[in-house]
Amino acid sequence: MPVARAEQAGCARWDGMSELSLAEALRPPAVFCAEAGAGGKVPAPRRNAGHSLGLVVTARSAFMYPIAKVFVAALAQRLPLCPGQKDQIHIALHEAVGNAVLHGNLGVGSDPFDSPAGLAAMRHMIDSRLASDCLGLSGIRLDAGWTATFLTIAVRDSGRGFQPTHDQRPSGETSCSGRGLFILHALCDRVRHFASGTGVMLAFVL
């Protein structure tokens, strides 16, 4: 089996090799899963049993694989989510994880890429930072907890944090970037930034 399943009940390790192996590692009864080699300032998820699921992955894997999609599919194995809710949570979590990787762990600024050259330069910066083990292996942590009527997912990064503004709209309607936070606020029932901006809590009424 490609995944090193937990020697301890509820704990799993992901080999970082594929989307399928991550789905396998997150299969119930896993309560938390950590990618081998993930480091940085992000501590391991809480290992409380019950209605929770935690995951720690590297920035490199969070950029390479559809972590949010697999994580939400794993949640759907544990609590009833209708297709519309799955889409809603998937989109919001994808944006939160993307922000955590790019603006958190990799420290990429939020300046808009407003030209093909700017797009290429941003991509070059991302690739070079992901290639560094210091940043590429830094951790991203997801913690989900739920009740019958409420789901929260906290996303924590290993970056320096940021100061969220009250106005989360794009800087202009034709701006090429800056829509991630706007989408979060549009799709979540509540969004809360914490830990000096290195964490964001997404809440959904089920």
Partner 1 sequence: MRFDYDAGSGCFAMTGEFTFADHPIFQGVLTQIGDGRDRSIVFDVSGLSFIDSAGLGMLILAREEARKLGSTIRLRGPRGQVKRILAVTKFDALFPVEA
Minimum CB–partner distance for residue 90 and partner 1 (Å) = 8
Number of residues that bind partner 1 (CB under 8 A): 32
Does 189 engage in binding with partner 1 (CB under 8 A)?
no
Does 132 engage in binding with partner 1 (CB under 8 A)?
no
- Contact 95/53 with Cβ under 8 angstroms? no
Secondary structure of residue 20 in the 3-state scheme: helix
Minimum CB–partner distance for residue 30 and partner 1 (Å) = 25
**Nearest CA among 42, 53, 9, 6 for reference residue 25:** 6
Does 180 engage in binding with partner 1 (CB under 8 A)?
yes
Q: Of 5 and 179, which has the nearer Cβ to partner 1?
A: 179
Minimum CB–partner distance for residue 56 and partner 1 (Å) = 21
Site string for partner 1, 65-104 (x = CB under 8 A): -x--x-----------------x--xx--xx--x---x--
**Nearest CA among 204, 103, 106, 205 for reference residue 163:** 103
Minimum CB–partner distance for residue 52 and partner 1 (Å) = 26
Minimum CB–partner distance for residue 177 and partner 1 (Å) = 5
**Nearest CA among 33, 91, 100, 32 for reference residue 60:** 100
Stretch touching partner 1 by CB under 8 A, among 73-81, 142-150, 159-167, 176-184: 176-184
The CA radius of gyration of the chain, in Å to the nearest whole number, is: 17
Pairing mode, strands 150-156 and 199-205: antiparallel
Does 167 engage in binding with partner 1 (CB under 8 A)?
no
Does 186 engage in binding with partner 1 (CB under 8 A)?
yes
Does 190 engage in binding with partner 1 (CB under 8 A)?
no
**Nearest CA among 13, 58, 49 for reference residue 31:** 49
What's the chain's length in residues? 206
Round to whole Å and give the CA distance between 46 and 181.
26
Q: Which residues contact 41 (CB under 8 A, 6 or more apart)?
A: 138, 139, 158
- Which residue ranges make up the site for partner 1 (CB under 8 A)? 63-64, 66, 69, 87, 90-91, 94-95, 98, 102, 112-116, 119-120, 122-123, 173-180, 182-183, 186-187
